[in-house]
Chains A and B, each alone.
Chain A
Amino acid sequence: DAGVTQSPTHLIKTRGQQVTLRCSPKSGHDTVSWYQQALGQGPQFIFQYYEEEERQRGNFPDRFSGHQFPNYSSELNVNALLLGDSALYLCASSPGWTGIPTEAFFGQGTRLTVV
């Protein structure tokens, strides 16, 4: 089992551009959450997807949007990139039927640098 996989690993974008990050959940998991982790900070919740719908959203602007596909994989889109969007973006997956923390796993993250 490959666990949670994220792509790409790193990318560099120019201010004002748009970016799409991808996440494949662990096999058997149907819930995907996205977090933003700025350097030296803890992860901040962006949103969570379940059954292809956004179930919860954190305090992020509408420039941040997402999607979940029927195979449970997910995308995070960020429009009009700002320098402050530079961060490690983490995807976490879990089986929707349980809230047990040991069932949730994080991916390795995508390091986004905005220049």
Chain B
Amino acid sequence: QKEVEQDPGPLSVPEGAIVSLNCTYSNSAFQYFMWYRQYSRKGPELLMYTYSSGNKEDGRFTAQVDKSSKYISLFIRDSQPSDSATYLCAMRSDSWGKLQFGAGTQVVVTP
């Protein structure tokens, strides 16, 4: 069993819809939870991070962490074609530790 599970998609939504992404994990030591966006042939770009549990909102993006269920989510409101990319969840247990990534979910927003 992988430490971080993420549905690879693809997830296709019409422009303006809400995109809902999620990951589950098994390592209870994870404290930092991140979401990265990766465009084709590019490096990952950090979108949001949460330390421990809770919700965080930044513009059209909302990240949620439920440590009791070992489940994290990312919501993208009012999706745009420019949001079409692969979204990677990542986690780590301490300030220095390696990032453990999910497989990434490919999102396609159609005009």
Contacts and interface: CB of A to CB of B under 8 A. Distances in A.
Q: Kindly name the residue among B34, B99, B103 whose own CB sees the greatest number of chain A CB atoms within 10 A.
A: B99
Contact of B44 (A33, A48, A90, A111): A90
Nearest to B50: A101
Interface in A49-68: 55-56, 58
Contacts, number: 60
Interface in A1-47: 4, 33, 35, 40-45
Nearest to B95: A99
A109 B43 contact: yes
B103 A41 contact: yes
Given A41-B103, A43-B44, A44-B101, 9 more contacts: A35-B99, A42-B102, A48-B98, A56-B97, A56-B98, A92-B99, A106-B45, A107-B43, A108-B42
